[in-house]
Amino acid sequence: MKKLLLLVVGLVLLLSLAVFAGDNDKVVATVNGEEITKDDVLYEVSLYPLDRKEWAFSEEGLSQILDNIIERKLLVKEARVLSLDTVDAVKRDIERAREDILIKHLLSPKVQAALAGISEDKLRAYYDENDTLFIEPEKVHVHYIVTDSLELAKEIYKKLKEGESFESLARKHSISSERDRGGDAGYLTKDMFRDKNLADTAFSLKLGEISDIITSDGLHYIMKVTDKIPSYKPDFDDIKDNLSRKVAADLQNKVVNDYKSELRKKAKISIDNSVLYSIQPKTLKPVEPTEK
């Protein structure tokens, strides 16, 4: 329902643009004699996402957008007064930005056309055919006590067996970052442990069971597991939005990479590696600011 409302709002705003298109050259403001027209403001509005368009057309939004345009023109004017647009490095940056804009407008229609073909049926088929991508691995809720003294670890282990609180002993003796949380390291998968022996031990423990002392890289660990979450595959509806973003990103990369490969095949490209690999870093003196 919310998406439908946003769509309706967007259509109304687009119609508004069409209705008032005839007077877009009217001057909204001037900055040191330079005019800012309605069309300039509308262009900035067009850059906002759909869910921000309604705000952008409000008095508050239009005022903020105009302020942004004014400030940008002031900054650009000052940069030109300082002749920054004649500096080679700046000119190169401008040319790079120009190229990026051209590339964006070249690739955008191709990407949008491909993304338009993503349907819920295709997402569900992808979900069904790629089980391994969505399986959530088994997790255990682990509590640690870590010491750098084997003797201390043995004393702690004895006290645990005598019924003393794991959490209080962790706060008192542990040197791990989980100390202030009573040794609570949260839910971990096997690949989140620093040592395979620690992982194997944690996943073999019964709930509430205290492990033996485990030594790894000069540290001595005592663990307790308080919960286990078995491996599972999330329901489609629970991950549909994330899946849609992933499929869209993968498709976008594929479309762009395929197109670049196509262009490379058509192009005549010659590379001199001897020149390329002769490029070495060199010390550059900082550019001193020009005094006005």
User: What does the pLDDT look like over 120-138, one tens digit per residue?
Assistant: 999 999 999 988 889 999 9
Q: What percent of the chain has pLDDT over 90?
A: 82
Q: What is the pTM of this model?
A: 0.59
Instruction: Single out the residue of 146, 166, 164 nearest to residue 225, CA to CA.
Output: 166
Query: If 0-12 CB within 10 Å is exposed, 13-18 middle and 19+ buried, where does residue 65 land?
Result: buried
Q: How far apart are CA 62 and CA 145, in angstroms?
A: 58
Could you tell me the two tokens for 20? Answer: 């008032």
Tens digits of residue pLDDT in 253-262: 999 999 999 9
Residue 142 is predicted with a pLDDT of 98
* Category of 216 on φ-ψ map: left (φ > 0), alpha (ψ -120 to 50) or beta: beta
Residue 204 is predicted with a pLDDT of 96
Residue 105 is predicted with a pLDDT of 95
Residue 285 is predicted with a pLDDT of 53
**Strand (E) positions, the chain?**
27-31, 34-37, 139-147, 184-188, 214-216, 219-229
Into which CATH architecture does domain 136-229 fall? Roll (3.10)
Tens digits of residue pLDDT in 187-231: 999 999 989 999 999 999 999 999 999 999 999 999 999 999 999
- Which residues lie across from 223 on neighbouring strands? 144
Task: Of 16-20, 45-49, 53-57, 101-105, give the lowest mean pLDDT range.
Answer: 16-20
pLDDT class of 281 with cuts at 50, 70, 90: confident
Residue 43 is predicted with a pLDDT of 94
The ranges of the chain annotated as CATH 3.10.50.40 are 136-229
